[in-house]
Amino acid sequence: MSSTTDKIKGLANEAAGNVKQGLGKVTGNDRLVAEGKAQELKGEAQKTVGDVKDGAKNLADKITGKN
């Protein structure tokens, strides 16, 4: 998966997680709040993976002189 794909999927999971949390709070559904928090954290992790891939690529480009 490319770094951009990781970042986009991460943002989507964060957004969906936040929506679930909000709905869970409004309806008093603790399970939905927990699912939303887990999905938000998954999204944050996906974005971090994308950032790490970008950093590794940039470093490799610098080392090989492609940058």
Can you give the pLDDT of all 67 residues of the chain as single tens digits?
Answer: 899 999 999 999 999 999 999 999 999 999 999 999 999 999 999 999 999 999 998 888 889 988 6
What is the pTM assigned to this prediction? 0.82
In this prediction, residue 60 carries a pLDDT of 87
Q: What does the DSSP assignment read for 1-15?
A: --HHHHHHHHHHHHH
In this prediction, residue 53 carries a pLDDT of 93
Return d(Cα 40, Cα 31) in angstroms, integer: 14
Q: Is residue 17 packed enough to be buried (19+ CB in 10 Å), middle (13-18) or exposed (0-12)?
A: buried
In this prediction, residue 34 carries a pLDDT of 98
